[in-house]
DNA sequence: TCAGCAATTGACAACGCTGTCAACGGCGCG
DNA sequence: CGCGCCGTTGACAGCGTTGTCAATTGCTGA
């Protein structure tokens, strides 16, 4: 309701001075600065973001794009993103993007053109599997918008990446199982087009190698990160004559499926079989038994992605931005689904 | 990049005509309309939303505000909201709001002033517990912005409400337990400041009354909708000399806690005790045993809230809008956590 | 004391769009 | 045949802000 001119009149200055004060620009005497601030407070001034965006070509908005598949993982990242946006006076907008593989290149470009051109976000946040999509990567190269990618990533020269060392985490978690005496450790893979599947599997394999164990291909099962494929994998694995004593599911949802398969067969967890997951999503501690898993600092990842985007947008010099893309810390969460292998 | 004037030049018309065509306004000959559309397509025109918003005072954005506590419930509603926004060419922005009770009235007003004035959303979506907050209700009355509230609601004359009949659902679910032979049915309450707690409890009580059962206050336990209070309630209830044979937790997360308490005591579910929840959140089918619960059409609720807001913003005549606030359909989902009472 | 320069302040245009209103042309009707 | 009306189209202003640049002020140093 109140506009800049109202503040200007109240303070007895020009509207440009008000603009300067409210944007913390230099070249205003401190006394005047104070007077203007007081006036703004007085009339309850709130800047109009459309006007600002139109004139300054900065929208003070970050746009997060996720695959059209709900997940606690994405939810947590988004939550972190909103937090940081709010702290810094930014807005978070969210969009869904259906499966990219079914979309012709031209549509994809058009889609992003609309998205980027229309609302001119100051930054884009991409989450898996979008964050590691090669076509999308190339399409976005054409647009002049900073992009932050969350999750494991193997794209060339992608600027802002926020991730943990999934391979090391998987290695560590597998090593833990081995230390408990397990040698027949099954693995349930996730979606094959997601980098997480490969990183986590690689870590699993490295741990086996380091302990001199051989990878038994019959213990590796496909999956899609969904509960039902975990269930299916569990059914298959537990039907094996020589049952695994531990199962590493590439994420928590599939671990829940494995647990259910175990329960149905009246197998004791962790007595008969240990189960671990990955992500420490919300359900991990709510399962029976509570799941040993790898905690990803998803909130912090959302925070960090947003922070870096805002910094990039704020600093005029792009060379300044970019705290190097180091790994965030993960943590192995020990709960009740793992135990020493049973002496038989 | 391409502006309206570029389209206008390409089509050999004035920019106002282009505006008319792209906004589907009348008073343009069909032939010309086609020519303009083709030109727009040709130059890859994308309207600038800041400019539109500035001039027309419509932002084509919906703002969803949620409590700063992540939940699958809110996530699902938001998902529905984005879907509909995207279909209708709107943007969804999300905000967090910390606990209102700790906030002085003045701060609350200021907060919303900033939010509503700055980005001028075409509508606000409120989810529990915000959607039933009385102070917030009064604050929002002052602003000229349509508000949609999701979830059970007892505020006076609140315009757009999207909900299911929680009381009837709770009654039906309880009746189901009674039909299975249960008579000692415990209830775990949620947060006391949320309407859902009271509606669900009321339904539970009505079912007992209708079957001539008396409500045993020792079987009613407090909670806060969180897993850990469910666990605590379960511990307490199962320690009772005369244990309940069924537990109705006011939401799924608490039901998961009750289940864990049962498992720890080596109680068989549903053999020794039946457990039900409410919401059919994502974890319901992933628990052991899979949870019997009430499905809320959360996606549809998000869709509906958004649809009504957009309709209200689109139609100039406010009387036209507002399909009356009827209940959306719920569904009792029968899974494996309920069974007949054991003959002893 | 006064030129010269930096610090401060303001006037004005412009961002890209839509609302208002005027101009134009064709057509029905007297 | 001419008047007036309606359906089309366009010129122009203005939404609220920031960028550019000029004007003013205050201060330093010769």
Residue A325 has pLDDT above 80, yes or no: no
Query: Residue B251 CA to D8 C1' — how many Å?
Result: 61
Q: Contact A286/B227, CB-based, under 8 Å? A: yes
Segment B244-272 shows an average pLDDT of 97
Looking up residue A283, the CATH number of its domain turns out to be: 3.40.50.2300
**Partners of residue A53 in chain B, C-beta under 8 Å:** 50
Return the SS3 of A187. Answer: strand
| Same structural domain, A171 and A291 | yes
Q: How confident is the model at residue A114 (pLDDT cuts 50, 70, 90)?
A: confident
Q: How far apart are alpha carbons B113 and B142 in whole angstroms? A: 10
More confident call, B85 vs B315: B85
Residue A318, pLDDT > 70, answer: no
* CB of A82 less than 8 A from some CB of B: yes
> Does B140 share its domain with B222?
no
Mean pLDDT of B128-147: 89
Strands, sheet with A220-221, edge to edge from the N-terminal-most edge strand: A220-221, A185-188, A246-249, A274-276
Query: Are A317 and A275 contained in the same domain?
Result: no
Checking if the pLDDT of A225 tops 70, the result is: yes
Give how far Cα B79 sits from Cα of A43, A96, A97, B42, B300, Å: 37, 9, 12, 33, 9
Are A132 and A152 within 8 A, CB to CB?
Answer: yes
**Residue B52 falls within a domain, yes or no?**
no
Q: Which residues pair with A220 in a beta bridge?
A: A187
Average pLDDT of the segment spanning A23-27:
86
User: Mean of the pLDDT values across residues B251-262?
Assistant: 97
User: Which of 183-212 (B) contact A at CB < 8 A?
Assistant: none
CB A202 within 8 A of CB A152: no
Domain count, chain A: 3
Supply the CATH number for residue A15's domain.
1.10.260.40
Smallest CA-to-CA distance from B299 within A237, A68, A11 is with A68
DSSP line for A234-281: HHHHHHSSS--SEEEESSHHHHHHHHHHHHHTT--TTTT-EEE-SB--
B296: pLDDT strictly greater than 60: yes
- CA A56 vs CA A18, A50, B291: distances in Å: 16, 10, 53
CA distance A51 to chain B (A): 6
**Residue A328 pLDDT more than 70?**
yes
With a CB cutoff of 8 Å and minimum separation 6, the contacts of A179 are: none
Per-residue confidence band for A111, with pLDDT thresholds at 50, 70 and 90: confident
Footprint of strand C on the protein (CB under 7 A): A 12-17, 20, 26-29, 32, 51, 54-55; B 3-5, 15-16, 19, 22-23, 45, 47-48, 51-52, 54-56
Residues A292 and A170 in one domain: yes
Are A61 and A43 in a shared domain?
A: no
CA-to-CA separations, B60 to A110, A161, A244, B118, B119, in angstroms, rounded: 19, 31, 55, 14, 10
Looking at the structure, do residues A233 and A176 belong to the same domain, yes or no?
yes
Residue B262 inside a domain? The answer is yes
- The shortest CB-CB distance from A288 to any of B46, B86, B260 is to B260
Distance, CA of B52 to C1' of D24, in Å: 38
- Residue B258: pLDDT band (50, 70, 90) is very high
Cβ under 8 Å to B: A residues 8-67? 44, 46-51, 53-54, 59, 61
pLDDT at A316 over 90: no
Do A227 and A275 fall into the same domain? Answer: yes
Does residue A340 lie within any of the structural domains? no
Question: Are A205 and A275 part of one and the same domain?
Answer: yes
- Name the closest residue on chain B to residue A113, using Cα atoms: B46
β-pairing verdict for A293-295 and B123-126 = unpaired
Q: Same structural domain for residues A15 and A41? A: yes
In terms of residue numbers, what domain contains A19? 4-47
Please name the helix (run of DSSP H) or strand (run of DSSP E) that holds residue A259, with its range, or none. Answer: helix A252-264
**Closest nucleotide to B8's CA, by C1' atom?**
D10
pLDDT exceeds cutoff 50 at B320: no
With beta carbons under 8 A apart, name residues in chain A contacting B113: 44, 46
A102 vs A98: CA distance, rounded Å: 8
pLDDT recorded at residue A287: 96
| Strands A246-249, A185-188: pairing kind | parallel
Nucleotide with the nearest C1' to B23 CA = C18
Rg of chain A taking only CA atoms, in angstroms: 25
Q: Give yes or no: residues A275 and A176 share one domain.
A: yes
Residue A317 lies in a domain: yes
Q: Which nucleotide is nearest to B6 (CA to C1')?
A: C16
| Backbone phi and psi for residue A341, each to the nearest 5 degrees, phi listed first | -65, 140
Spatial contact of A159 and A233, defined as CB atoms under 8 Å apart: no
Q: Is residue A338 part of a domain?
A: no
Query: Is the domain of B67 the same as that of B130?
Result: yes
Residue at B337 is within a domain: no
Confidence of residue B31 (pLDDT cuts 50, 70, 90): confident
- Indicate if the pLDDT at residue A320 is higher than 50: no
Confidence band of A344 (pLDDT split at 50, 70, 90): low
Chain B CB contacts of A46 under 8 Å are 113-114, 117-118
- B341 within domain boundaries: no
Residue B344 lies in a domain: no
Q: Do A118 and A236 belong to one domain?
A: no
The predicted-structure confidence for B163-201, as pLDDT tens digits, reads as follows 999 999 999 999 999 999 999 999 999 999 899 999 999
User: End of a domain among A47, A65, A82?
Assistant: A47
């Amino acid at each position: 309701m109140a506009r800049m001119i109202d503040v200007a009149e109240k303070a007895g200055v020009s509207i440009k001075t008000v603009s300067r004060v409210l944007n913390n620009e230099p070249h205003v005497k401190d006394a005047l600065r104070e007077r203007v601030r007081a006036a703004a407070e007085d009339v309850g001034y709130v800047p109009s973001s459309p006007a600002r965006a139109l004139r300054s070509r900065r929208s003070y908005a970050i746009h997060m794009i996720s695959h059209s598949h709900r997940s606690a993982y994405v939810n947590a990242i988004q939550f972190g993103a909103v937090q940081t946006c709010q702290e810094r006076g930014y807005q978070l907008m969210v969009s869904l993007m259906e499966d990219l593989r079914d979309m012709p290149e031209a549509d994809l470009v058009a889609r992003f053109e609309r998205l980027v051109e229309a609302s001119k976000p100051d930054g884009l946040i991409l989450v898996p599997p979008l964050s590691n999509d090669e076509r999308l990567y190339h399409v976005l190269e054409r647009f002049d918008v900073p992009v932050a990618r969350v999750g494991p990533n193997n794209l060339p020269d992608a600027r802002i990446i926020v991730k943990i060392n999934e391979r090391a985490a998987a290695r560590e978690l597998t090593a833990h199982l081995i230390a408990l005496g397990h040698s027949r450790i099954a693995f349930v893979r996730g979606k094959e087009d997601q980098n997480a599947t490969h990183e986590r599997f690689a870590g699993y394999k490295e741990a086996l190698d380091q302990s001199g164990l051989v990878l038994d291909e019959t213990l590796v099962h496909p999956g899609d990160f969904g509960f039902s494929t975990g269930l299916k994998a569990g059914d298959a694995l537990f039907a094996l004559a020589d049952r695994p004593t531990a199962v590493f599911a590439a994420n928590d949802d599939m671990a829940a499926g494995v647990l259910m398969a175990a329960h149905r067969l009246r197998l004791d967890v962790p007595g008969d079989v240990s189960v671990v997951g990955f992500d420490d999503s919300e359900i991990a501690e709510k399962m029976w038994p509570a799941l040993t898993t790898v905690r990803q600092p998803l909130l912090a990842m959302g925070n960090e992605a947003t922070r870096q985007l805002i910094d990039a947008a704020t600093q005029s010099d792009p060379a300044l931005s970019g705290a190097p893309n180091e790994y965030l810390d993960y943590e192995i969460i020990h709960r009740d689904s793992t135990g020493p292998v049973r002496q038989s």
